[in-house]
Structure 1
Amino acid sequence: MSVYVPEEFSPEEGDVLRRYFTNLDGPVFALVNLPEVVKGALFARYSRSSKSLRRLFLDEFVGELDISGDATIDATVGLRRAEELYDRVFFEYGDDSVAQLGGVHLACEQASNLLTKVLEWGRLMAYLEQSTRYIAYDSRLGGRYRYLRDPAILGSPLGTRYVGDMDRLFDTYASLVPRLQDFFRERFPKEPGDSDLVYRQAVRAKAFDALRGILPAASLSNVGIYGTGQGYEQLLLRMRAHPLPEARSYADLMLGELRKVIPSFLKRVDLDDRGVAWSTYLASTRTATEELAERLFPVDVAPDAAPGVTLTSFDPDAEVRLVTAMLYPSTHVPEAQVERRVREMTTAERMEVVHAYVGDRSNRRHKPGRALERLSYRFDVLADYGAFRDLQRHRMLTVEWQALSPRHGYTRPEAVDLAGHAAEFDDAMGRSAELHDALLDRFPAQAPYATCLAYKVRFSMQMNAREAMHMLELRSTPQGHPAYREVAQDMHRLIAEEAGHPVVAELMRYVDHTPEPALERLDAERRAEARRQSR
């Protein structure tokens, strides 16, 4: 049985698709011969659609494009490019900066929720991932529920149990989706000014949010990536060293498609003395560290009790350093001299500098300069995997996470309790934990596939104050998921109270501490409809 479900297209559809996609039957493919704005729009739509990218292109985009001049193009055979200059400069002389000048839009479909976090590791790439808030996971792909069927697990004595338990988890999710929607319709009646579409979308999102925790980490997702040749090279080197077999096999698929578009930039990936040696180094250091950590912290060591969010590191002299950094670019003297003068200033004088530097932020998209990058905070977080998936997307900060497992328990949304479905939710969590434990000894890398997104994972986030402003203001908005809203609100309080940086916290004026709204997505859907009507 194939891991991936190939999509079927008519001969006429295939004739169109061959002009713009590097293959028609694989889960990884590059987009070529399309305007950049079309590729960007495709990816934007991709994240909120259950369709594959090729089907989305046929259904919603190709009718708006003039493709008559592309009839002779066939992207599936690769692009014949003159590469002698790149070979000489990049490969022979090792000028990595050349590889920053060629970019590719790559679609990665039918990737597990474990793999998507591997794909989205790099800072200098752009990603859009299919959202559990907008996509119902009760639909099937090729007649099967949408979760990864690992070949090694399916070929083992645990294969039948794996499929059976996974199917039961999706059965539970599918049965509860309509019941939660009915519950929310009764609890939050439609307001007279809202259209049926706006209300329906808001109710669906609320139900999907409440139930996404039942989905296992094996659930499949689609990811759109844009990156340079250098970014893809680094991504592939990490993936080829990863303990998850899915990541290693997927890396081969990606390399094959990327070489149809930017082959010169990826020649080093599978050379023994270059990419293979780099990947071997990454794998060996990871293994050595894991073995040492296992000796120092055996599996039977119980974790200390800790709150969901802990501030573990901050600068006690933050105010002085912040004002110094704000003044420095506008002076002509060494930084140490600026700092001496700042230490002599009164609190009122320092605040005058802060207010001048930050100005009047009329909305959260107005970001002050890089002086806020002078301060940093490190947080230790224990939150459900669903919240982690959203927070991990902030790649400009430093995020590290531990293995997903049932060890730390799970979060059951209050709405599930109020709707009277706690028993079904708990049964799903129990099934997930038992399957994980059954897989763990034989398949330690794949065991997290069985773990539902409601289970908690521990991760650290280190960020400067400028990134904290961006993340906390964005992730605390009322339309956000309650799980990550709570994390963002806790981080903001800790910066103000535990770090003792009320000035910094005050600069983050758009962090929202209001209670959870009735229908988180309602206002956003109203704004979207207003934009549609204005067009």
Structure 2
Amino acid sequence: MAAPTDAAGGADAPPETFTEAERARLLPYVTTLDGPVFALSGLPEVVKGALFARYSRSPKSLRRLFLDEFAGDVEPGEASAGGAVGVTRAEALYERVFVEYGDDSVAQLGGVHLACEGVSNVLTKVLEWGRLMAYLEQSTRYVPYDDRPGGRFRYHRPAELRGSPLAHRYATALDEAFLTYARWLEPLQAHFRRRHPRAPGDSETVYRNTIRAKALDTLRGLLPAATTSNVGLFGTGQAYEALLLRLRAHPLAEARQTADRILVELRKVIPAFLRRVDVPERGGAWSRYLAETRQATADAAARLLGDAVAEPRPEVVLTDWDPDGEVKVVAAALYAASDLPDDQLLARARRLGPDERAAVLRAYVGERRNRRHKPGRAFERTAYRFDVLTDYGAFRDL
């Protein structure tokens, strides 16, 4: 429920007052000194995490809490001079508050933007596995891969192949794939220019980019899984810890090497959030558990399915669905709009006719004016499972 507000838009709470000295102390670190809604700025992630950890167990406002319990750990003028609070001092502050007040959830309160460049498409999917992070990946739909930085096409050369007789075959096969891609880039653009002549209102730049995107979109299925890409990630300390534990347990050397690099860089900005990752009896034991269960499952699959041959299937197969899905979605849509318990709503939804259910769903979905207008979470009440066989170009989008 929204909090009552006055004419000026403030929440229905008594306004805070600060002395002039306190206002000067706060000003570098909060976006406003007067309103009830404000953001923190100029503080390291570990300090913000520690501050919020204490916040959850204190009756004080966040600004008052900072003044009373945290400001002494921050040297005046640091943020205004363009620097952040010292990481060493911030880490000690976080450790003190974590031990005294916090738990693992405190690591959800600090985030980092991280770039991983020149990683294989196989590794990008490992990096992007976590649900509680945000990702942006260099797009093969808009970036051509016909160049040769340093005289080599952009694909990963696995450490596992060094010194192996397969190394030459691997490089030859991938070079040929990239050469084929490069040979077809201009002919395909010419083909699309013939099929899609430039409209009178299109600028030359827009038209050229559109044609190139069509060609790249068509050709990217030729790019192998070893193709390298750049990935941007944003996540909390807790999400990065889970990512690192997973990478350190991965069978591919590229994943493990990238984990080492990520840990080095993250410890420059959120060191306290990642203390456990490489401690043998903590993160080490966790990564061993992940590796052991993966291997045990692979052994079980080999033992039980080793003689099975894959049967032919269409490229897309709906393998599982909920026969009561429509009823459940209708009941879930009505749940927040009624006072009835869930099981009673399910029973009522089952008795509704098709037109009545459709009316509920139409009301719930509303008039979507673009794809970003998404209905509520009632549609999460059911599930559909698809088995998709596709080339790597389409898999990148999926």
1:464-475 to 2 correspondences below 5 Å: none
1:393-404 counterparts in 2 under 5 A?
none
Give CA deviations for 1:169-220 in whole Å, capped at 9, x if unaligned.
2222222211221222233322222211111111111111221122221111
Point out where structure 1 has 5 or more consecutive residues left out of the alignment. Answer: 1-31, 35-68, 392-535
Asked if 1:150 corresponds to 2:158, the answer is yes
2:276 to 257, 262, 268: 268
Q: Which amino acid aligns with 1:344?
A: R
Amino acid at match of 2:369: S
1:246 paired with 2:254, answer yes
Counterpart of 2:372 in structure 1 is: 365
Partner residue in 1 for 2:265: 257
Q: Is the 8 A contact 1:132 1:212 kept in 2?
A: yes
Residues 44-97 of structure 1: CA deviation (Å, up to 9, x unaligned): xxxxxxxxxxxxxxxxxxxxxxxxx99x9799xx94442223223446877111
Judged with a 3 Å threshold, the aligned counterparts in structure 2 of structure 1 residues 311 and 264 are, in CA distance, closer, same or farther, namely same
- Structure 2 SS opposite 1:109: strand
Aligned to 2:200: 192
Q: What is the CA-CA distance between 1:302 and the residue it aligns to?
A: 2.3
Q: 1:328 Cα deviation (Å)? A: 1.6
Match of 1:324 in 2: 331
Query: What is aligned with 1:223?
Result: 231
Aligned twin of 1:339: 346
For residues 312 and 160 of structure 1, do their structure 2 counterparts lie closer, same or farther at Cα, with a shift above 3 Å needed?
closer
Partner in structure 1 of residue 177 of structure 2: 169
How do 1:124-139 and structure 2 match up within 5 A?
124-139=132-147
- 1:134-533 aligned within 5 A: 134-298=142-306, 301-391=308-398
Maintained 8 Å contact 1:114/1:218: yes
**CA separation in 1, counterparts of 2:356 and 2:187?**
59
State the 4+ residue runs in structure 1 displaced beyond 6 angstroms: 72-75, 91-94
**How far apart are the structure 2 equivalents of 1:380 and 1:280?**
30
- Contact in 2 for aligned 1:89/1:95 (Cα 8 Å): no
Instruction: Measure, in 2, the Cα distance between the counterparts of 1:331 and 1:73.
Output: 53
Q: Tell me the CA shift for residue 158 of structure 1.
A: 2.7
Match of 1:48 in 2: none
Give the aligned length: 325
SS of the residue corresponding to residue 390 of structure 2 reads strand
Structure 1 CA distance for aligned equivalents of residues 333 and 138 of structure 2: 39
Change (3 A) 1:74 1:83: closer
Distance 1:93 1:141, change over 3 A: farther
| Structure 1 residues 165 and 356: CA distance shift in structure 2, 3 A | closer
Question: Cα distance, 1:320 vs. partner?
Answer: 2.1
Amino-acid identity (%): 62
- Structure 1's 191 and 263: CA in aligned 2 closer, same or farther, altered over 3 A? same
Q: Is the 8 A contact 1:111 1:221 kept in 2?
A: yes
Residue 122 of structure 1: how far off its partner (Å): 0.6
**Cα displacement (A) at 1:265:** 0.3
RMSD: 2.8
Give the letter for the 1:335 counterpart.
D
Name whichever of 137-146 and 102-111 sits farther off. Answer: 137-146
Give the structure with higher Rg (CA).
Answer: 2
Q: Is the 8 A contact 1:90 1:99 kept in 2?
A: no
Instruction: Provide Cα deviations, 1:295-328, integer angstroms capped at 9, x if missing partner.
Output: 2222x63211211111111111223222211112
TM (norm. structure 1) is 0.57
Q: What is the rounded CA distance, in whole Å, between the counterparts of 2:251 and 2:122 in structure 1?
A: 12
The answer to whether the 8 A contact 1:126-1:227 is kept is yes
Amino acid at match of 1:351: A
Question: Using a 3 Å threshold, how does the CA distance of structure 1 residues 348 and 271 change in structure 2: closer, same or farther?
Answer: same
8 A Cα contact 1:91 1:267, kept in partner: no
**Deviation readout 1:266-308 (Å, 9 max, x if unpaired):** 001011111111110010000010111112222x632112111
Partner secondary structure for residue 168 of structure 1: helix
The answer on whether the counterparts of 2:224 and 2:392 sit within 8 Å (CA) in structure 1 is no
Could you tell me which amino acid in structure 2 is paired with residue 384 of structure 1? Answer: D
Q: Distance in 2 between matches of 1:109 and 1:282?
A: 26
Q: Is the 8 A contact 1:90 1:265 kept in 2?
A: no
One-letter amino acid of the counterpart of residue 292, structure 1: A
Q: Which amino acid aligns with 1:208?
A: L
Q: Which of the residues 123, 127, 132 maps onto 1:119? A: 127
Q: Tell me whether 1:110 sits opposite 2:118 in the alignment.
A: yes
Counterpart-to-counterpart distance in 2, 1:230 and 1:275:
12
For 2:333 and 2:116, how far apart are their aligned partners in 1? 42
